[in-house]
A and B are shown apart, each in its own frame.
Chain A
Amino acid sequence: METVKLTEKQMKSRRNRNIALGLVLAGLVVLFYAITIVKIGGGMAG
């Protein structure tokens, strides 16, 4: 079976993209958490 080996540059850029995607996903978790807290807080105050 023939396999394609990733070059050093391809490996590096893929790692870079994966880290960025991870950070974006973590940011989304924080974002939804913040929205929930603010909305619930506002509802309770109301």
Chain B
Amino acid sequence: MTVIDNHGVLAKDGELSEASARDYFELLKPRVMSLVVFTAFAGLVLAPGHIHPVLGLIAILCIAVGAGASGALNMWYDADIDAIMSRTAKRPIPAGRIAPSEALAFGLVLSGFSVVILGLAVNWLSAGILAFTIFFYAVVYTMWLKRSTPQNIVIGGAAGAFPPMIGWACVTNSVTVESTVLFMIIFLWTPAHFWALALFKMRDYEAVGVPMLPNVAGERVTKHQIVAYAVLTAVCGVLPSFLGFASLGYGLVAAALGAIFIYCSIAVWRMPDGDLKMIPAKKLFGFSIFYLFAVFSALMIDRLASVLFSHAGGWF
């Protein structure tokens, strides 16, 4: 009979776990989570109305943990292909630091906690959208679309676009045209952002059989679509000004950022097929991240400025 001293945790194949808390934190995809936190915070700030700061903080925490939980479920399901791709081979499951069943349990528990706490602390509409977001990312995108269609990230991108809508719903307990525009900015931005990455990681995706657009339809078609989505993103980026929930100043900043985004996408479009270095694609990928942070930052600064200005107007 074999007894494990002090009830040690079993990792895979009967090995005792050597996973640290850091490995579990890595399962939450902290870099993706930072983008989620930022855009959800933007939704909270931009929404008309007021939320108690403590509840606002708890809302952000729940959205972050919910997003992280869906990341853990994604890593659990995708461990087989993560082990082959250079970008993901060092993740905790393929590297053997965390057993798949532990990651699954971790993801499910965090999903449940984040949704229930958001519902109890803030409201059930935002909790419902968070639950749908986790389901959409873990089941619709990861289990279904990712391995079956080259349009995987177009539809799956919706999961990453929900956080500002959840933030907005936390304050207003509603879904409005304004929060839908915030959703659309991220939704339309995702294909150009992700396909730029897919272009220079094409060999990786090919090796694991994930049908990314460059592998299935070719580089040329991907480049056409990158330009199309960049234009749509740039147009959607200035909509807050036209719809009246951001100033003309914001509109000018968003238009300039959108013009650079389109310029970078055209540089990718002009890149010869079969280019091995793919420098324009790498530049577009980098700028796309900056674009999203800049647009949402500009929206928040614009809101802050309008609040300060209205207070100043009240004093004089």
Give A contacts to B, CB under 8 Å: 1-7, 9-10, 13-14, 16-17, 19-20, 31, 34-35, 38-39, 42
Contact = CB atoms under 8 A, between A and B. Distances in A.
B55 A38 contact: yes
Given A13-B18, A19-B21, A42-B52, A31 B58 contact: yes
B20 A4 contact: no
B24 A20 contact: yes
B21 A4 contact: no
A2 B1 contact: yes
Contacts of B4: 3-4
Chain A, interface SS category: helix
B21 A3 contact: no
Ordered nearest first, which 6 A-B pairs have the shortest CB separation? A20-B21, A35-B121, A13-B18, A16-B20, A10-B16, A4-B4
A32 B20 CA distance: 26
Contacts of B52: 38, 42
B207 interface: no
B2 A3 contact: yes
Interface in B1-53: 1-6, 8-9, 16-21, 24, 52
Interface of B: 1-6, 8-9, 16-21, 24, 52, 54-55, 58, 61, 117, 120-121
Contacts of A9: 18
A20 to B, nearest CB: 3
Contacts of A16: 20-21
Contact of B16 (A1, A2, A3, A4): A4
Contacts of A17: 9, 17, 19-21, 24
A6 B2 CA distance: 13
A5 B16 CA distance: 10
Contacts of B21: 16-17, 19-20
A15 to B, nearest CB: 10
Given A4-B8, A14-B9, A35 B17 contact: no
Contacts of B58: 31, 34-35
Contact of B17 (A10, A38, A42): A10
A19 B19 CA distance: 13
Nearest to B6: A6
B55 A14 contact: no
Contact of B55 (A2, A3, A4, A35): A35
Contacts of A31: 58, 61, 117
A22 B43 CA distance: 32
A17 B106 CA distance: 13
A46 to B, nearest CB: 13
Contact of B3 (A2, A13, A42): A2
Contacts of A3: 2-5
B117 A5 contact: no
